[in-house]
Amino acid sequence: MAGLQQTNSEKILLSWVRQSTRNYPQVNVINFTSSWSDGLAFNALLHCHRPDLFDWNTVASQQSPIQRLDHAFNIARKHLGIEKLLDPE
């Protein structure tokens, strides 16, 4: 039963992320692993809720995946109080 609950929770969260990032054509979140590796999904999720924090086009077009991940994690820590729990590398 716990496995079913987690699966439903994951589906709901994945649906929310897809809905939140639908206006970002470079972002295609299909899972919780590879869809996040280029840093675009993290940044799009931040930008859709707080577009005042950074310029999306600059982040999306001019940075490497590691730079984009660092950017998202640093923005989340500095402006939203979310601690950096993942290492981009």
Model pLDDT for residues 28-85, shown as the tens digit of each residue: 999 989 999 999 999 999 999 999 999 999 999 888 999 999 999 999 999 999 888 7
Q: What is the pTM of this model?
A: 0.86
- Look at residue 62 in the predicted model and tell me its pLDDT: 81
Residue 16 domain-assigned?
A: no
- Look at residue 84 in the predicted model and tell me its pLDDT: 83
Residue 15 domain-assigned?
A: no
Tell me how many domains the chain contains. Answer: 1
Residue 66 domain-assigned?
A: yes
Residue 49 domain-assigned?
A: yes
Please, which pLDDT band fits residue 4 given cuts at 50, 70 and 90?
Answer: low
- The torsion of the CA quartet 66, 40, 28, 9, rounded to 10 degrees, works out to 90
Residue 6's alpha-carbon distances to 3, 10, 12, 56, 87, in angstroms, are: 5, 6, 10, 32, 25
71 lies in which domain range? 40-82
* Helices 2-20 and 40-49, packing angle to 10 deg: 70
Judge contact between 53 and 60, C-beta under 8 A.
no
